[in-house]
Amino acid sequence: MSVFAVKTTVGQERIVADMLLSRAHRLEAEGRGALYAMLSPSALRGYLLVEATDQDVITELSRGVPHTRGLVKGETSMTEVEHFLTPEPPLAGISEGDIIELVAGPFKGEKAKVLRMDETKEEITVQLFETTVPIPVTVRGSHVKMLEKGGE
């Protein structure tokens, strides 16, 4: 078993995965190879990682599938893609004093300074820049995007 990368149109990874899966069931029923797993990591847009018996299985499955742009030559091991299997904590890389942007919620698009962090609850207390009265606001760690480190 090896892991292969299939090039897809950006944003169409899920559609390609569904089509490959439906074709894989027919191929496996005929006894001509097997598809074991598929992964579409958000950090790797435009690619679908597929675990299969060999490259010929992936080539046969992807032939004629819309939004498929080809197969990356060669194979990779499971150890090279393991980091895609464990999600990164939402507060990774953020510390007190950093400048962030809120990407969700009622303050979406606002810039703020990180005052406190609660890693157990995955929450950040921030102070919004464009407010007349500085009020601390607590938001979820997944609702922020890092802009600047240690913005004093």
- Please tell me whether residues 103 and 45 are part of one structural domain: no
Same domain for 113 and 139, yes or no, is: yes
Contact between 151 and 98 (Cβ < 8 Å): yes
Bridge partners of 76?
A: 3
Q: In what order do the strands lie in the sheet with 123-128?
A: 136-140, 123-128, 111-118, 99-102, 144-148
Question: Is 104 part of a structural domain of the chain?
Answer: yes
Q: Is residue 89 part of a domain?
A: no
Q: Are residues 6 and 52 in the same domain?
A: yes
CATH number of the domain encompassing residue 128: 2.30.30.30
The answer as to whether 93 is a domain residue is: no
> Does residue 108 form part of some domain?
yes
Q: Parallel, antiparallel, or unpaired: how do β-strands 99-102 and 111-118 relate?
A: antiparallel
Distance, C-alpha 97 to centroid of its chain: 27
Domain that holds residue 141: 99-148
Q: What is the DSSP string of 2-27?
A: EEEEEEE-TT-HHHHHHHHHHHHHHH
Q: Are residues 21 and 70 in the same domain?
A: yes
Residue 90 lies in a domain: no
Looking at the fold, whether 23 and 66 belong to one and the same domain comes out as yes
Look at the block and give the residue holding tokens 């007190």. 96
Q: Are residues 9 and 73 in the same domain?
A: yes
Nearest 5°: phi and psi at 29? -65, -30
d(CA 112, CA 126): 6
Per-residue pLDDT of the chain (152 residues; tens, 9 = 90+): 788 999 999 999 999 999 998 888 887 777 777 888 899 888 889 999 999 888 888 888 888 899 999 888 888 888 888 888 877 777 778 889 999 999 998 989 999 999 999 988 889 999 999 888 888 999 998 889 988 887 45
Whether 129 and 72 map to the same domain: the answer is no
> Is residue 70 within 8 Å of 7, Cβ to Cβ?
yes
- The secondary structure of residue 127, as a DSSP letter, is E
pLDDT of residue 10: 93
State the total domains in the chain: 2
Domain boundary among 84, 119, 138: 84
Indicate whether 76 and 8 sit together in one domain: yes
pLDDT of residue 98: 92
Supply the DSSP string of 33-97, one letter for each residue: --EEEEE--TTSTTEEEEEES-HHHHHHHHTT-TTEEEE-SS-B-HHHHGGGTSPPPTTTT--TT
* Same domain? 80 vs 105: no
Same domain, 73 and 134: no
CATH code: domain of residue 55 = 3.30.70.940
Residue 94 counted as domain residue: no
